[in-house]
Structure 1
């Protein structure tokens, strides 16, 4: 029955994170069998195949006049007006890989602050972050390790020669002289995306549709959402460079 179709019955991938919004309002609309519009910009669409007959979800602009609630599925951090009568929520598949380059001894506080500032400036949801990527010589950097452990983010590291083989918009000869690659943050973010796409078919915990994999390979040609940004924290030691890349295959780990 339609009135038994609730928000909790949606077979949403386990890695998706609930974002801001009126979850109670959307859940109530679904329970009443009212039309709920779904706008999905990223993530697997396999969850749609498990919907029961007679469900009240709508997409592709259907039944606009009857919409009583809306669900966004994206990596964008939308700021809903509290004055809107239409309840809205947002789900965030983890599709953003953050590349990090930093000086030795850079604190977790500075790295986390830099990522937060980038997300705010580019309207990116921090909940959509899949993980952190950097050069392998930073695999034991305390600030990065503390951040990844605290936020439950995986850490991918890549050798300098691998990073140096990646074409980036902002290479640096100074960085190349110091660490053996002209880019760390941008190249690491792009390498993380490439690795996710190439290994997606081998994962046991996800199914990749032909459409999604094709989209991933197409987007993979230019997935850098945020070119490198350099941050410092007042007079405190250390500096961090941040870049963000999009992966059409979401992280579910």
Structure 2
């Protein structure tokens, strides 16, 4: 994203620096009243705001002003042209406590960015758009969150938004793409109609691969199969693709990628088209292509390169299971002898079962802390506000539901379905959707981050989804804070669950921790099925530490029924310990004095 931030005074410096660290802002400035003042203040360039805007306005997607709303409006007033061309505008007060999406809340996805900044700064969003208050779906922008592209005149979309604001019924016909958006609270307010019932154009907007509708969101589901004479011109190939799509009423905005035979890996026109459109190109071996049944095989092609089909077979393979050819393949040749169009190209198109647009997809593994929303970091809140879908164990999702917007979707799963959650997140990110994978505590401590990364490591590097890990407060940290400061010196954590780790390995780790005199935090101490491991672990510890060693047992830490109790090592009530408990066992230096649980660092 091409974005800048402009502060109106020196007081905005810290906010500007924080904005520069986000993915939204490339450059930051402090507005100067002087025409030629180009001084640098704390690494921030000082320039007159009007000069900055005059120079950069047409190339920008986002401008954030830090300061007065009135001053911001006066600066941009003469530069505004149209809703679909102007950059998005956000105004933030100098404390970062008020965030106002001012211009382009739809086209530039400014509203979603404003929510992210709001959560990052711990501020409050001032929403002037009525979609939030009225639980409206932003019908002219929501598709961007689902990996889609939009066609139709901006004025027609604006009329549709006005119609919605006047409480008129909005109809949608969806024949392609992910339909999870319908399960959101906002999506439920849109009336769904079938393709059969969509004549004559009854739908207010469509979600489709076709190009004959007025207002349409286009999921990327079309794979273009290509075969060509060596060194065929890029212009001929591009024109041929456009003609083929137009003939078959298919939208170029629904192209997911290109596919051909692997001997074309150095075909420059193919590579340039793929690069310029930022769409993938898949190459397949002749042996694999020859296994695909196609309606129009060619013996000439078979004799020349070892497969009866390139374009048709390649697009079917690229589209994957459930692929469907659309229209008959067609050969295009240069017939006007144009210098820019030469060679010959074969075009075929297959429709995939699922959309594919990984360019915009992301996975955010979010550690939500031990329970209460107050323990959620601003970084985690920002990630949650960015994602259209939250996936997680139901109990953890319930803890953060108050933060969910009406346009976001929750996918709940059971406790033992960790792998399924990760695989679902990967699949959705490949479709172009931003997904939050929820983990309690810290996602990297017995959380979801490890399993996700294990699965990602098995994928080819160029196919791996974009991901980010957002750490959270571990229950170990909160339990320690409730009791005092038992982790002030070296410590370790050990899980007693032997479902994924052999008990022999767990015992070795306990013995190693005892040998090193570590404070020991015990996770997953005991369940109905695992009722002997804790007893065995305590017995091992008692072999190295005295019975009066202080111990903290925290239960439901960070949640409604939170409790903490102190015991000595030889008096832990084992029958009262369960999977909601966490145990911290002191080392040889740990003390418990007047309910202050402390492992001295050695300062005194």
Q: What TM-score, normalized by structure 2, do the two folds share? A: 0.34
Distance 1:14 1:227, change over 3 A: same
Partner of 1:156: 282
2:168 aligned to 28, 34, 53, which one? 34
SS in 2 for 1:226: coil
Distance 1:35 1:131, change over 3 A: same
State the alpha-carbon separation in 2 of the partners of residues 3 and 32 from structure 1: 13
Query: Which stretches in structure 2 are left out of the alignment for 5+ residues?
Result: 1-132, 359-604
Cα drift, residue 4 of structure 1: 5.2
1:91 aligned to 206, 210, 217, which one? 217
SS in 1 for 2:328: strand
State the alpha-carbon separation in 2 of the partners of residues 6 and 103 from structure 1: 46
Distance 1:135 1:50, change over 3 A: same
Cα drift, residue 168 of structure 1: 0.4
Query: Which stretches in structure 1 are left out of the alignment for 5+ residues?
Result: 81-88, 198-216
Structure with the larger RCO, 1 or 2 (CA within 8 Å, 6+ apart): 1
Cα drift, residue 56 of structure 1: 3.9
Distance 1:9 1:145, change over 3 A: closer
RMSD: 2.4
Partner of 1:17: 149
Cα drift, residue 12 of structure 1: 5.5
Distance 1:241 1:102, change over 3 A: same
Cα drift, residue 34 of structure 1: 1.7
State the alpha-carbon separation in 2 of the partners of residues 38 and 225 from structure 1: 24
State the alpha-carbon separation in 2 of the partners of residues 3 and 42 from structure 1: 25
State the alpha-carbon separation in 1 of the partners of residues 207 and 136 from structure 2: 23
Distance 1:171 1:228, change over 3 A: same
SS in 2 for 1:35: coil
* Aligned ranges 1:1-253 → 2 under 5 Å: 1-2=133-134, 5-7=137-139, 10=142, 13-21=145-153, 22-52=156-186, 56-60=189-193, 70-78=204-212, 80=214, 89-194=215-320, 197=321, 217=322, 220=323, 223-234=324-335, 235=337, 236-253=341-358
| Paired residues of 1:7 and 1:27 also in contact (CA < 8 A) | yes
State the alpha-carbon separation in 2 of the partners of residues 13 and 228 from structure 1: 33
Distance 1:176 1:49, change over 3 A: same
Distance 1:33 1:225, change over 3 A: same
| Paired residues of 1:133 and 1:185 also in contact (CA < 8 A) | yes
Distance 1:11 1:169, change over 3 A: closer
- The C-alpha deviation readout for 1:11-31, integer Å capped at 9, x for no partner, is 654420001241111122223
**Aligned length, in residue pairs:** 216
State the alpha-carbon separation in 1 of the partners of residues 240 and 252 from structure 2: 12
State the alpha-carbon separation in 2 of the partners of residues 180 and 5 from structure 1: 52
Distance 1:11 1:103, change over 3 A: closer
Q: What TM-score, normalized by structure 1, do the two folds share? A: 0.78
SS in 2 for 1:174: helix
| Paired residues of 1:100 and 1:184 also in contact (CA < 8 A) | yes
Cα drift, residue 5 of structure 1: 4.6
Task: Please say which structure displays the higher CA radius of gyration.
Answer: 2
